[in-house]
Structure 1
Amino acid sequence: MENQKHGYIPLYRSVKKQPWAKDVFLRTLWENLLIDAARQPYTANYKGHRWPLEIGQLVTTSADLGLSLCDRNGEPTSRHAVERMLAFFEKEEMISVRAERRKGTLITILNYAEYAEKIDSTPAHNAAHISAHSKASSSKVSEGAPAHMAEHKGAHHEQEYKNKNIKNTTPVNSGESSDDRLKSLPVVRPDAAVHSPKGDKWGTADDLLAAQWIFSRIQVITPTAQQPNWPAWANDIRLMRDSLKVSHREICEVFTWANGNQFWQTNILSPSKLRKQWATLKAQMSQPVRNAPSSSQQQVPHWNDRKEWEENFI
């Protein structure tokens, strides 16, 4: 009865054929968008603004969508991760997104009317329905018999998904398997603040901040240094934390020592070099003579100084 009161949407089996559907976050977000989209035109009140919505539209924010995508510990998905997922759906021509600052994001599910049309009006349903009646009549089975009901329900569930939104992106006879297609999709990581196009290199917001702070110190020594590959830098910070079991504080402190050392300051110019020389740097830091800070090192602000963060990253 609750379903009848609040409405429902069809969810076709063919969605499982899509390579991206194996990503539980993409799959769940797509289902949430379908469920929340307007079934009839109406005006929504959201964040103090009136939004005239058409069929297949909804107004929300990336942060609100993330609250409905939680991990096993109940942690919601970050706004940045949701935005990347929405961008993926846009690229696949499944939705269009229009964001208005401080008001909300209007999401339109393309071809929603075709997707959500009533099952009993589709040709596949009608054909199966007539076939079921004919068989029931010829075998003297009544309409309410189990044989008729099974075939009637089968027509509902086996109807091919017509929506152009969820399309098979693997060309026919291309030689590319669904597994190959899946490997080419970006890996969506809820806690990633930055990632490479393939998603194989990524880092959290704090990993990225630490990488940006390191670069700001490198620029003091090498003003002509080019902008880094931020996903790769953040990835190296993350790998250091995971493999060496160290914190962002310790990473930045070791870099600060290297950055103030006359020899190492021109050799440690990236998190990857810092990671490679980590054991050597830690050993030299423990030596009293080497541990004496140089004049340039004394002038370097503490990595976790609030003023330092605000000046460089806000």
Structure 2
Amino acid sequence: MQNGWFKLYRDLLEKPLWVQSTPEQKTVLITLLSMANHQEKEWEWKGTSYKVAPGQFVTSLESIAEKCGKGISIQNVRTALKRFEKYEFLTNESTNKNRLVTIVNWGFYQGNSDDLTNQLTGNQQAVNKQLTTNKNEKKDKNEKNNNTSCPKQAYDENSSFYKLSFLFFEKIKMNNPAFKEPNFQKWSNDIRLMIERDNRTPEQIKYLINWCQNDNFWKSNILSPAKLRKQFDQLIIRVKSESENKKSGLTLIKTPISNPDLSSDEIRKMKKLAESVPL
């Protein structure tokens, strides 16, 4: 077992790699940094002796999950490794027994401070100039990232956000085969906002996706997660009202909740009715 400590730069907290990661993926990321070797070490790899460099380590999915602790599954680890590879944070080579993980640019972030200084310049004045330049470059890069609403490959295809986005697209295509393929990263981000900011559940979102694409009115008006998010409360009221009317044997007139022909008293009654019917 390795002793000592490792560096964790605050700059990491502003990168899409961290910002767009799930709590499980963040746990895996920190665990990987703690597992990486700080100096050359000899391991067995592919049946032969292998010297791993700083930033590398030989491990397994089971071992990573175990070190992450309670609540992290092997599938969580597998998904995180795949996502981190897309961000070029690490490389991951596996066999049927174990895998070799390499943290990219380990020397820059975790290397010896003296070594880093020597690489930058031979005198203190040049060091200060270079560090100032690097700081400004990082600031520009962070501003660019903040202004980008949808970082490239921010959402893995195996994430629940992406899967719900793809389901939405498939349902729309069933009604309109000519519907163009959307930006799934942007759609996934809107799904994430519904779950994390609006406290919607994936089950609710999935239900409304199916429901609105089967409704004669809403299927032509709800054509993106952003529009679904905007109309979410109205759709819930409509679904609950429809459910209540089916129970009472009545036929619900397909009129949007926002229709100006409905009086405020009628809308208030529908909201009261919605509160008494479970989704």
TM range (shorter): 0.5 to 0.7
Q: Distance in 2 between matches of 1:234 and 1:88?
A: 17
1:99 aligns with 2:54: no
**Residues 126-155 of structure 1, C-alpha deviation per residue, up to 9 Å, x if partnerless?**
xxxxxxxxxxxxxxxxxxxxxxxxxxxxxx
List aligned pairs for 1:249-268, cutoff 5 A. 249-268=203-222
1:98 and 1:242 mapped to 2: Cα distance? 30
Q: Counterpart in 2 of 1:34?
A: 37
Distance apart, 1:87 and its partner CA: 5.0
Indicate how the Cα distance of structure 1 residues 247 and 183 shifts in structure 2: closer, same or farther if over 3 A, else same.
same
Query: 1:207–1:237: 8 Å Cα contact kept in structure 2?
Result: yes
What amino acid does structure 2 have at the position aligned with 1:32?
M
Amino acid in structure 2 at the alignment position of 1:39: K
Find out whether 1:208 has 2:162 as its counterpart: yes
* 2:65 paired with 1:59: no
Question: Structure 1: which 5+ residue stretches go unaligned?
Answer: 1-5, 118-156, 165-169, 187-194, 293-314
Counterpart in the other structure of 1:19: 11
Percent sequence identity over matched residues? 21
1:54 deviation in Å?
A: 2.2
Partner of 1:197: 152
Q: Structure 1 residues 162 and 171, CA, compared in 2 at 3 Å: closer, same or farther?
A: closer
- State the Cα deviation string for residues 151-183 of structure 1 (Å, max 9, x = none): xxxxxx97444697xxxxx88647726455456
How many angstroms apart in 2 are the aligned matches of 1:274 and 1:38? 53
Partners of 1:64 and 1:223 lie apart in 2 by 46
Residue in 2 aligned with 1:299?
Answer: none
What secondary structure does 1:68 align onto?
helix
Structure 1 or 2, whichever has the larger Rg, is 1
Inter-CA distance 271–38: structure 2 relative to 1 (3 Å threshold): same
Structure 2 match to 1:75: 71
Match of residue 44 from structure 2: 43
Residues 267 and 28 from structure 1, CA distance in 2 versus in 1: closer, same or farther, beyond 3 angstroms?
A: same
Question: 1-side partners of 2:198 and 2:9: how far apart?
Answer: 40
Q: What value does the CA root-mean-square deviation take over the aligned residues?
A: 4.6
Three-state SS of the structure 1 residue aligned to 2:47 is strand
Once the two structures are TM-superposed, the CA of residue 198 in structure 1 deviates from its matched residue by 8.4
The residue type paired with residue 71 of structure 2 is E
Q: Is the 8 A contact 2:64 2:77 kept in 1?
A: no
Q: Counterpart of 2:252?
A: 290
Cα contact 1:233–1:272 (8 A) shared by 2: yes
CA–CA distance in structure 2, aligned partners of residues 163 and 51 of structure 1:
35
Q: Compared with structure 1, are the counterparts of its residues 251 and 8 closer, same or farther at alpha carbon in structure 2 (3 Å cutoff)?
A: closer
How far apart are residue 210 of structure 1 and its match?
Answer: 2.4
Shift of 1:221: 0.5
* Matches of 1:239 and 1:196, distance apart in 2: 15
2:192 to 196, 214, 238: 238
Matched, 1:176 2:130: no
| TM-score of the pair, normalised by structure 1 | 0.51
CA shift for structure 1 position 106: 2.3
Distance 1:239 1:18 in 2: 24
**Could you list the runs of 5+ residues in structure 2 that have no partner in the other structure?**
19-25, 120-129, 246-250, 255-279
Opposite residue 196 of structure 1, the aligned amino acid is: P
Where do residues 99-248 of structure 1 align in structure 2 (5 Å cutoff)?
99-100=93-94, 102-108=96-102, 159-161=114-116, 173=133, 176=136, 178-181=138-141, 196-197=151-152, 199=154, 205-248=159-202
C-alpha displacement at 1:209, in angstroms? 2.4
